[in-house]
Structure 1
Amino acid sequence: MENFAQLLRTIDSFVWGPPLLILLVGTGIYLTVGLGLLQMTKLPLAIKYLFSKEHGEGAEGDVSSFASLCTALSATIGTGNIVGVATAVKAGGPGAIFWMWVAAFFGMATKYAEGLLAVKYRVVDENGQMSGGPMYYIERGLGNKFLAKMFALFGIGVAFFGIGTFAQVNAIKDAAQLTFHIPVEATAVILTVLVALVTVGGIKRIAQVASAIVPFMAIFFILASTVVLLLNLSSIPAAVSLVIQSAFNPEAAFGGAAGVTMIMVMRSGIARGVFSNESGLGSAPIAAAAAKTNSCVRQGLIAMTGTFIDSIVICTLTGLVLVMTGTWNDPSLAGAAMTNTAFNIGMGSGIGQYVVTVGLMFFAFTTILGWNYYGERCTEYLFGIKGIKPYKLIYIVLVASGSFLHLNLIWTLADIVNGLMAIPNLIGLLGLSKVVFSETRKFFNGLSVAAKAEKAFQA
């Protein structure tokens, strides 16, 4: 087993080496420049669209834009925000949080482009459902079926062995056992039954559950984290300073004997950031394609808010709590246990662990649901609707077995398949960047003309 674990670590280091990090961040930088810092200038408009109903008749899609974002957030707001941040800070120190911010900022432009292309190139499947995402915009936009099939294959791999099952199930199991002393077997049975009941209903039922759980749990966790920060207000400046300083000088946090390099810190932050917000991974556009909308740009803007909520808001709050309380540097703590301890210390009572555990269990559960849908759409692309039932059966079996695997092995495996999935998607985004720029200019020029016409009419 140790030899196998070492092999996975070697593959992981290769996949997440400098080329992929450069491709991920470089794609975000290129899109940011080409879109004129759209993630900053148009974020208020994107948030406005998120909470307003689209005007116009005949909008095609399976669920509302808000529900599609909740489905995407259900897959992104999960263990990456609680366990993943702890894992990143443990491996790369507080500086990893800074590189999460960098990845998230440029990732917002990437997520915008993904959402835009998903709607532009989506199709209707044999069941009458919307199908879209990288496999469709790579095939229909770039004309490259090989890369499209590679993405779909890796997408199923991430659903089965990466973000979708093992990492989430293991986190739920650990949290339930540590906080509520629930036996592993009981967690496995209850979770499997719940997942089966929801996923059988397809995107509409998943979206209904996600729309109910995700906003409530996100607000709950944000408020709880804010309470911790307010109770420890004087520690915030030092924590932020350490994050920025150790991003470029790891010795500031670890000391020279630790052997942690800046590349290791960057890798920890960017890889965990991508695991959390999934910008560039190509998963969120699969959910965006199901939205009822007539505008690919509007949906791209709404999709972009997902990265902002996930990483700029929630991951930052978790990371600051870990750094402020000093738990990141405790060798006896890892994963959910580290975050539990940090919130307990921050709140000065035993309730912190319950906040983390409840948040983690709900976030992880909705992530399992979201990735079930992503894997289903990838399966439908490769094998047609006849492959959906066997896929769902395998997925449920993997959920049932996920409680019995080792944490480090799970994160390593998840990293590998995530990286492999990102490569064809990023190639597709770069190849179709001119389409993204063109559609964006056309949309905002139209808004400008409409605004001038309205102003003239009122005058």
Structure 2
Amino acid sequence: MGFIEDAVAFFAGWIWGIPLLILLMGGGLFFMVYARFSPFLYFKHAIQVLAGKYHEEDKEGQISHYEALSTALAATVGMGNISGVAVAITMGGPGAIFWMWVSAFFGIATKFFTCTLAVMYRGKDSDGEVRGGPMYVITEGLGKKWKPLAVFFCIFALIGALPIFQANQLTAALNEVLAPSIGYDVASSFTFLGIDIPYASAVIGVILTVLVSSVIFGGIKRIAKVASKMVPSMVVLYFILVVYILIQNLAGIPEIFASILEEAFNGNAILGGGVGAIIVTGAKRAAFSNEAGIGTAPMVHGDSKTDEPVREGLVAMLGPAIDTLLVCTLTALVILSTGVYKPYIGDGNIAGISLTLEAFNAAIPGYGAYFLGLCILVFAVSSLLSYSYYGVKCVSFMLGAKNGNLYNYLYIGTIIIGAVTSLGFVVNLIDSSFALMAIPTMISAILLAPKAWKAAQDYFARLKAGEFDN
């Protein structure tokens, strides 16, 4: 296992080099400039669409705009924002947060283009159902001769969509929160294939497997309905908790922002040194946080009930604003304001959800971990539900719709693996997969950007002319 972990860590470090940063961040900058920042002017309209003002039940697709965004957010708001921020800070110091922000602004433009294209170039699966996603954008937009690139995306999406990070961090959180309360031994373990597996983590993994199985086999409609009910209430609760903590530390907030900006450009706090390493850390964690350019969100937004691609692109661009600019920033402010991250900087270890729990406990003694634990439970379970759909769609594309649910059996099996595996291995494996998924997603989006922008200009003109007024 040690060799495999080292190999995956090496590959993750190699693939997230300058070329991929240019593709993701440079591609986002290209989309932003190419669209002349126009999508940023339509946030109000995007919210109106999200609220159902323009929903048309009779259009092709399976879910509403709101359900599409809720499902996409269910896969991002949560462990990527709560645990991922802690990982970013321990790997890259406070400065990594600044580069997460930069990536998020580029991500807004990227989401607009990739999700507009996901509706423009929808295809049909072997059952005749309308589907969207990078694989269909590639084959329908660029042509059948590009299908190998679509298959390349699907193969690595099968790994990137695995639930191992969510299961790993939810297990760690439950162990940390519940162990002191009910007195069970989290260290007690058994040996399987030469690997020490904690009993408590294995039991949690089994329970999660049962819970998730009861939903994901119902398909995207059941997943979307559950996610649309779970996510908003937990975002509100999380927001209230963070605001309460920040009010207690109000005087120190300007200093926190100053430290983020200072560390973003001096590289003193980074493990391994260098501003470049901080940028890479911020970009990786932002990619995991909002998945802009990775290709997962277009798979769910492409299934929305609409014949206006640009409308769905506008809804999708709200994602990075919510999960990275809002939720990630709130998490970072709590961790940085409590100072609990400082012992981790420079010690060579990665801290995830345990660091965030420590911060909430420091800010709300005796209760913080329980409140956060509730949020983590809902966020992680909603993420576990949403990610399964991505893998199902990829299998359906490659092997036919009737075989799509085969992925769910692999998916639920790896929940237990994720629950008992080391955080470092999990992070590196998912980072590697996301990097490889980004290549076909961004290449196809850049090549088809003129088509998306032409559609956007037409839609904005019709909107200004009052064509959509009731």
The TM-score range, normalised by the shorter chain, is over 0.9
Q: Pairwise mapping of residues 179-198 of structure 1 onto structure 2 (< 5 A)? A: 179-181=177-179, 183-198=200-215
Cα distance between partner residues in 2 of 1:58 and 1:180: 47
Change (3 A) 1:95 1:388: same
Give yes or no for the alignment of 1:235 onto 2:234: no
* Consecutive aligned runs of 4 or more in structure 1 exceeding 4 Å deviation: none
Change (3 A) 1:58 1:37: same
How many residue pairs were aligned? Answer: 445
What's 1:45 paired with?
45
Cα distance between partner residues in 2 of 1:148 and 1:356: 39
What's 1:175 paired with?
173
* Structure 2 unmatched ranges of 5 or more: 185-199
Is the 1:76–1:278 Cα contact (8 Å) retained in structure 2? yes
Report the alpha carbon displacement of residue 274 of structure 1 after superposing the two structures with TM: 0.4
Is the 2:157–2:394 Cα contact (8 Å) retained in structure 1? yes
What's 2:242 paired with?
225
Offset from partner CA, 1:426-456 (integer Å, 9 cap, x none): 00110101011101001011112227x98xx
Report the alpha carbon displacement of residue 299 of structure 1 after superposing the two structures with TM: 0.5
Q: Pairwise mapping of residues 395-406 of structure 1 onto structure 2 (< 5 A)? A: 395-406=411-422
Report the alpha carbon displacement of residue 388 of structure 1 after superposing the two structures with TM: 1.7
Offset from partner CA, 1:61-96 (integer Å, 9 cap, x none): 111110111111111112111111101110100000
Give yes or no for the alignment of 1:446 onto 2:448: no
TM-score (norm 1): 0.93
Report the alpha carbon displacement of residue 409 of structure 1 after superposing the two structures with TM: 0.8
Give yes or no for the alignment of 1:379 onto 2:381: no
Is the 2:55–2:64 Cα contact (8 Å) retained in structure 1? no
What's 2:337 paired with?
324
Q: Pairwise mapping of residues 56-455 of structure 1 onto structure 2 (< 5 A)? A: 58-143=58-143, 144-160=146-162, 165-181=163-179, 183-251=200-268, 253=269, 259-331=272-344, 334-347=351-364, 349-450=365-466
- Partner amino acid, structure 2, of 1:364: A
Report the alpha carbon displacement of residue 57 of structure 1 after superposing the two structures with TM: 7.0
Report the alpha carbon displacement of residue 125 of structure 1 after superposing the two structures with TM: 2.7
Is the 1:232–1:346 Cα contact (8 Å) retained in structure 2? no
Offset from partner CA, 1:143-176 (integer Å, 9 cap, x none): 211111111111112123xxxx111101111111
Cα distance between partner residues in 2 of 1:55 and 1:194: 32
Offset from partner CA, 1:240-261 (integer Å, 9 cap, x none): 000011100122x57xxx6521
Report the alpha carbon displacement of residue 10 of structure 1 after superposing the two structures with TM: 1.4
Is the 1:54–1:293 Cα contact (8 Å) retained in structure 2? no
SS state at 1:76 partner: coil
Offset from partner CA, 1:2-50 (integer Å, 9 cap, x none): 3332222211111100110111001110110111213432222212221
TM-score (norm 2): 0.91
Cα distance between partner residues in 2 of 1:200 and 1:223: 34
- Partner amino acid, structure 1, of 2:175: Q
* Bigger shift: residues 47-56 or 135-144: 47-56
Is the 2:217–2:405 Cα contact (8 Å) retained in structure 1? no
Question: Larger % of helix: which?
Answer: 1
Pairwise CA RMSD: 1.8
Cα distance between partner residues in 2 of 1:222 and 1:130: 36
* Structure 1 unmatched ranges of 5 or more: 455-459
Change (3 A) 1:56 1:322: closer
- Partner amino acid, structure 2, of 1:158: G
Is the 2:156–2:437 Cα contact (8 Å) retained in structure 1? yes
Cα distance between partner residues in 1 of 2:387 and 2:56: 31
Name the % identity: 39
